[in-house]
Amino acid sequence: MARHRTLFRMLAIQRVLVKYGLDDIIKETHLWRPLRFLFYLAPRGRDREAPVGERIRLALEELGPIFVKFGQAISTRRDLLPPDIADELAKLQDAVPPFPAKQAIAIIEGAYGEPVTSVFERFDEEPLAAASIAQVHTARLKAGTEVIVKVLRPGVEEQIDRDLAVLRTVAGLAARYWEHGKRLKPLEVVDEYEHTVLDELDLMREAANTAQLKRNFQGSEMLYVPEVYWDYCRPEVLVQERIYGTPISDIEALRAAGTNIQVLAENGVEIFFTQVFRHNFFHADMHPGNIFVIHTDPERPKYAAVDFGIVGTLSPEDQRYLAENFLAFFDRDYHRIAKLHIDSGWVPPGTRVDQLESAVRTVCDPIFSKPLAEISFAQVLMRLFRVAQRFDVEIQPQMILLHKTLFNIEGLGRQLYPQLDLWKTAHPVLRRWMDEQVGGRAMLRDVRANLPQVRDALRELPTILHHLGEQAAEGRIRFNLQSPELRAIREQLDTQRRQRYWLTAAATAIIAGTVVITFGSLPWLGWALLGGGGVAAWVARP
């Protein structure tokens, strides 16, 4: 049954493409090409004379949430898209057609178990904004606080499940038949995306994300995060403080208010790197529809972010690896970049460092000392992709959210302040973080964090040594060595008495080696037997 639903969905996608005059995509991708003629009889929502950007936007809206999110992601990349298409796709950020207010009210009342009028002093039926997963209404609490009420779209779970099945089918075919399938890991990429998009369907999770980000930036002069009203939050309903600000995409209004655009752009870069490296918790859906500017003090503008359904984190290993790559890139240390890729296992172990270093240098060197406006990241990305193909660099699915966020940040920066020196702004933040991780302050922090364990171990040490001494004096120390090899030795000892001497010698050697290994794996015991050596040296032992 699931396979049939996937097949029908793939056919439905083609029907929508043909409906909006986008069937050239079918020809180019060879996606069920023989069947495309069956759809030419279907009514077209827009003829081919309508602007192509409008037809693409309408097709994505009709195809559903996952496709809308794709349109949102690329709408900020005006270096990749013609202006008319970028303008149309930008409407997907907060201008998706809303669903009826009656449905929203029914969902809210079902969540609370009481009428909307009993919960809110005022509930505005006209949506403030509508997106692919949910839509937002304004309201006032009984206490007089102005809030927004976010409500999941009805039936959105079924839509997403269906489209994920389509993506998984296509990814499976790619993994099996595509020459780059193993390296690009399409199935793992879909799994990572599935985890992310399903998290968006639980608004309690979004509320928790919002609260965490607010704690991280408490008292910040650069970013404001709205308050969450937990008593009114449910899995399908989120209530939080209403934000008043200018959309980041309204550059004319920001300039008219005298906003310091350069400071705003530089703060945006610092906020991003602070989230990724200092907090390891970053807003991963930073399209313009989710970012506002508070400019009551135009010289010190502050960002206000909303919609924290998608957040990202990195493992300590990925975080450290990424920071070292960034720093090596800023320092133009291409040998270090190549070495990091090989050490991480992202490229085959037999890869020559000098060849990878030369390839990265060829791509990256031309873009230094240039403002954002003069850098064609589209060309850089394409050239890096070719380098990745040549050296069999594997895609890292856990990095997808970060890549997506970087994509959005760069697109926003290009719109906001094209003269931004990205490298100059980001480098001090990264350098400071690395110093905190590996410098003397970091060592002191780690020692301080482990002091309770050190104290407990020292407290128990005299008792343990006394107990071991008593056992040794009474001859009660035994080593229990269990392995197939030793069992074989015991059998030979029973049947070959004449070789007792040599077998005993062998067993003694094994026991002696085990004693060394055992003492070596217990630092407190090795320290005691060697007569001290200093508590500091013991604590610092890895």
Task: Find, among 32, 346, 272, the residue nearest to 170 by Cα.
Answer: 32
CA dihedral 163→209→420→410, nearest 10 degrees, is -10
3 state DSSP class of 141: strand
Tell me how many degrees the CA angle 79-83-88 measures, rounded to the nearest 5: 115
Distance (Å) of CA 110 to CA 141, 177, 233, 243, 283:
18, 47, 13, 26, 30
- Tokens for 288, please give them: 């313009």
Instruction: Give the residue carrying structure tokens 């003269």.
Output: 419
Q: Mention every residue, 6+ apart, whose C-beta is less than 8 A from residue 302.
A: 221, 222, 223, 224, 293, 294, 295
Rg (C-alpha) for the chain, rounded Å, is 31
Catalytic residue among 23, 94, 285, 307: 285
Buried b (16+ CB within 10 A) or exposed e, 140-170: ebeeeeebbbbbbbeebeebbebbbbbbbbb
Task: Find, among 178, 240, 184, the residue nearest to 207 by Cα.
Answer: 240
| Residues 201, 66 contacting (CB under 8 angstroms) | no
Residue 285: active-site member: yes
> What stretches of 422-499 show up as alpha helix (H) in DSSP?
422-438, 440-473, 484-495
| CA–CA dist 542, 540 (Å, integer) | 6
| CA–CA dist 65, 134 (Å, integer) | 10
- Tokens for 448, please give them: 């301080």
Cα 535 to chain center, whole Å? 41
Cα 232 to chain center, whole Å? 28
| Residues 285, 309 contacting (CB under 8 angstroms) | yes
3 state DSSP class of 201: coil
| CA–CA dist 333, 313 (Å, integer) | 26
| CA–CA dist 61, 42 (Å, integer) | 18
Instruction: Give the residue carrying structure tokens 């008495």.
Output: 497
Residues recognised as catalytic: 285
